[in-house]
Amino acid sequence: MAFAVRLVNLEVKPEKCTPLVEDPKYRKSYEKLKELLRPMVREIEVRSEKKTVVIGGEYVMFRHEMTYLNPPPIAIDVDDTMDKEELAKRIDIAENFRYEYIGRELTLDLIAVRSVSNDPEQFKKTVRFVSSNTSLPLVLCSLNPDVIKAGLAEVPGGRPLLYAATKDNWREMAEIAHKHDLPLVASSPGNLDMLMTLANTLEKYGLSDLALDPGTFAGSKGLSYTLNAFTMLRWRACNEDCRLAGYPLVGTPISVWSSMNGDKRAKAWWEAITAAMLITRYVDLLILHSIEGWVLLPLVILRFNIYTDPRKPVSVEPGLRIIGSPNENSPVMVTGNFALTYYIVTGDIEAGKVNCYLLVVDTEGLSVESAVPGRKFLPEKVAEVLESSGVAEKVKHRILIIPGKAARLAGDIEDATGWKVMVGPLDSKDIPKFMEERWRPEVIEELMRG
């Protein structure tokens, strides 16, 4: 039963039900179930020998209708005129980019190899170098089918994405994709009729793992087209059951680098903005040129946020946490159970090498800032967790340190718990300093006496 519930909530796929898949007598039911649960946007897989990246597979237009499921993978480009040093540097960033955010590791996903030389041999060499130095799957980018074919020979055991079939090269590209069973992007910048024409033709060619590139125009002449094109395509797929629009959408903020004027920083700035716009509206795969941390950091966090399941608050269990090795004189601090609040606060306490007891109050997954005015940071809840934690037996004092943003509740918390309240700093990064200045025997004594 649990499986069925998870199935209907799209948390698990019918393939995972082994008897259903393996037993021939369920074959028919399995096929039907699969059809019933098929996403509005086709899901395609791109693979290296070590990793699989999923693109598309979405069911809804707006995240509050259910949830978005597959965060759009980010591909970082390299090209076949870069020397080994530059290639190695970019591969290293794509491969090893890590940012720790509320206990998760945010990473990049793919490498897009472009052919600037338009020379099959040179492309082949570059693809060989890249694929032997990365575990990430590849996107092979060239509009010249001979170049793509040459590159393909260097990705044994992988399933790269091919970019792209256009109105001029579609037959040869379709033939390559068909022969090797590879996913293929149909590209028609600025012309959605041609995009549908390509999708329709490639389908008839026998291809089903397609992705659509309506063109990512930026700046004054094109940002509006881009936003409208992505929105219309996704609306057609999700709300009007248009099969041809129901393929993953490819966004190429990298095009800012060839279409906009300005210095490198200005281009990187607009690339970040164009990518953020597409993450908010419907992109299923992004190809980027910038490798700067300040461009990628807001994008990977925004992507994580937008693809968070709105049906489940991002919260941690309320209760007592012991940080470091506290003793009977150590402080007792209070915070909310929004995951982000919790990870930042514990991070700051740990970084400051403060030994303490931390009481995590059930604020229904809201931050302290929202929970206080929203009446989710309740004195009774503080009392509840204080009681159940048994921390009263662990410390000699009777002082709670509450977040500065909950200062307003100091009196009520004292009433509800019978403990004295010390109002802590507004930002948890100041906890170590606060401890040094305020958590002194004389202050504690005075507070306990008064």
Partner 1 sequence: MSSLEEALRSKLPEFLGSKLAEALEKYGELILEDVEIEVDELELILRPGAVVPALKPPVEVKPLKLIETKFEKPKMEWTGKVVEVKLGATRSEGGTRDRVLVVGGETVPAFYAFAGSMSHPPVVAMDVFDMRIRLPKAIRVHFEDVMEDPAEWARRCVEKFGAEMINLHLVSTDPYIKDTPPSKAAKTVEEVLQAVKVPLCVGGSGDPVKDVEVFKKVADVAEGERIVINSLNLDMKLDDIGPYLKDKDCVVIAFTPMDLDKARELNRKLYDYLPKERIMMDTNTAGIGYGIEYGFTVMERARLAALMGDKELQHPIVAGVTNAWAAREAWIKMDPYWGPREIRGPIWETITGLVALLAGADYFMMMHPFSIKTLKEIIDYLSKSPFEVEETLPDWVSAKLG
Of the two residues 168 and 317, which places its CB atom closer to partner 1 in the complex?
Answer: 168
Written as six digits, the tokens of 336 are 């909310």
Binding of partner 1 by 240 (CB under 8 A): yes
Binding of partner 1 by 269 (CB under 8 A): yes
The correct pick among 129, 247, 257, 434 for binding partner 1 (CB under 8 A) is: 257
Binding of partner 1 by 164 (CB under 8 A): yes
Tell me, by CB under 8 A, how many residues bind partner 1: 125
Instruction: Tell me the torsion sign for CA atoms 366, 368, 370, 375.
Output: positive
Binding of partner 1 by 220 (CB under 8 A): yes
Binding of partner 1 by 210 (CB under 8 A): no
Closest of 277, 273, 262 to residue 229, by C-alpha: 277
**Could you say which residues in the range 350-379 bind partner 1, by CB under 8 A?**
367, 369-370, 373-374
Q: Give the shortest CB-110-to-partner 1 separation in angstroms.
A: 16
Tell me the Ramachandran region of residue 401: left when phi exceeds 0, alpha when psi lies from -120 to 50, beta otherwise: beta
Q: Give the shortest CB-447-to-partner 1 separation in angstroms.
A: 19
**Could you say which residues in the range 141-160 bind partner 1, by CB under 8 A?**
141-143
Binding of partner 1 by 221 (CB under 8 A): yes
Q: Give the shortest CB-132-to-partner 1 separation in angstroms.
A: 23
Q: Give the shortest CB-234-to-partner 1 separation in angstroms.
A: 9
Tell me the Ramachandran region of residue 342: left when phi exceeds 0, alpha when psi lies from -120 to 50, beta otherwise: alpha
Q: Report how far Cα 334 is from the mean position of its chain's Cα atoms.
A: 30
The correct pick among 138, 152, 184, 238 for binding partner 1 (CB under 8 A) is: 238
3-state secondary structure of 184: strand
396: exposed, middle or buried (Cβ count in 10 Å: 0-12, 13-18, 19+) = exposed
Interface pattern 62-101 for partner 1 (x via CB under 8 A): xxxxx----------x-x-x-------------------x
Binding of partner 1 by 167 (CB under 8 A): yes
Q: Give the shortest CB-169-to-partner 1 separation in angstroms.
A: 11
Binding of partner 1 by 172 (CB under 8 A): no
Q: Report how far Cα 30 is from the mean position of its chain's Cα atoms.
A: 31
Binding of partner 1 by 421 (CB under 8 A): no
Amino acid at 336: G
Binding of partner 1 by 115 (CB under 8 A): yes
The correct pick among 12, 273, 323, 399 for binding partner 1 (CB under 8 A) is: 273
Amino acid at 179: K
**Could you say which residues in the range 313-332 bind partner 1, by CB under 8 A?**
none
Query: For the CA atoms of 288, 294, 298, 300, what is the dihedral angle to 10 degrees?
Result: 50
The correct pick among 12, 320, 322, 344 for binding partner 1 (CB under 8 A) is: 344
3-state secondary structure of 1: coil
Written as one string, the DSSP assignment of 219-260 is HHHHHHHHHHHHHHHHHHHHHS--GGG-SPBEE-GGGHHHH-
Binding of partner 1 by 310 (CB under 8 A): yes
Q: Which stretch binds partner 1 (CB under 8 A): 189-197, 322-330, 388-396, 434-442?
A: 189-197
- Hunting for tokens 């002082």 — which residue is that? 399
The correct pick among 16, 27, 32, 440 for binding partner 1 (CB under 8 A) is: 32
Q: For residues 198 and 167, give the distance between their C-alpha atoms in angstroms, rounded to a whole number.
A: 7
Q: Report how far Cα 444 is from the mean position of its chain's Cα atoms.
A: 45
3-state secondary structure of 334: strand
Q: How far is CA 20 from CA 14, 23, 24, 26, 27, in A?
A: 8, 6, 8, 5, 7
Q: Give the shortest CB-393-to-partner 1 separation in angstroms.
A: 34
Binding of partner 1 by 29 (CB under 8 A): yes
Of the two residues 285 and 391, which places its CB atom closer to partner 1 in the complex?
Answer: 285
Of the two residues 47 and 289, which places its CB atom closer to partner 1 in the complex?
Answer: 289
Binding of partner 1 by 195 (CB under 8 A): yes
